[in-house]
Amino acid sequence: MTVLQVRFDLTYLFVSYYLGVVEHLADRVAVIYLGHVVELGEVPDVYGRPLHPYTEALPSAIPTPDPDVRPQRIVLQGSVSPANPSPGCPFQTRCPYVQERCRHEPPPLRASAPGHLIACHRGAELHLAGVESSPAGSGKEQGRLQSIGPLAQNPPLMPERSLNQNE
């Protein structure tokens, strides 16, 4: 997918819960909670400097291949009812930083920095933990080319095929 993306200047809409793949393929990422975009921005910004509490919790759920490494997990408390959402912020029933305003007023998606949007009343005041983004997730073509190996220097063209079923 990355070879084709670079070669043909493609844009993908890629939906996944597996953050490692998202980080590798994406330039920008939208974090969605209960159907609401809660954070949107460049991969290194969202992964390295999350502004929404849900974004902060996501990387801690990624399993590590090393059994001796025990990352600090952020276990979300509270209940969720997608069929009967609470008023206010969609994340407020599970947010460790919830305030009264969050319970009644839905936060708008607004710019907190150039190209970095957040839907959180407290996003500007919270200092959340991020993860170090790998070079593949940097959003830079050079990092991508290095991460996918020699094929990226001269990827083969896909053979043309007719879409006509009668041929």
Residue 144 has a pLDDT of: 31
Per-10-residue mean pLDDT of the chain, 167 residues long, equals 86 81 86 94 90 88 75 80 88 94 96 93 86 46 31 38 44
DSSP H or E stretch at residue 22: helix 19-25
- 116-118 and 110-113 strand pairing: antiparallel
Name the CA radius of gyration of the chain, rounded. 19
Residue 118 has a pLDDT of: 96
Residue 132 has a pLDDT of: 57
Predicted TM-score of the model (pTM): 0.72
Residue 95 has a pLDDT of: 94
Cα 15 from Cα 34, distance rounded (Å): 14
Residue 16 has a pLDDT of: 84
CA torsion through residues 82, 88, 89, 95, sign: negative
Residue 152 has a pLDDT of: 35
Cα 48 from Cα 44, distance rounded (Å): 5
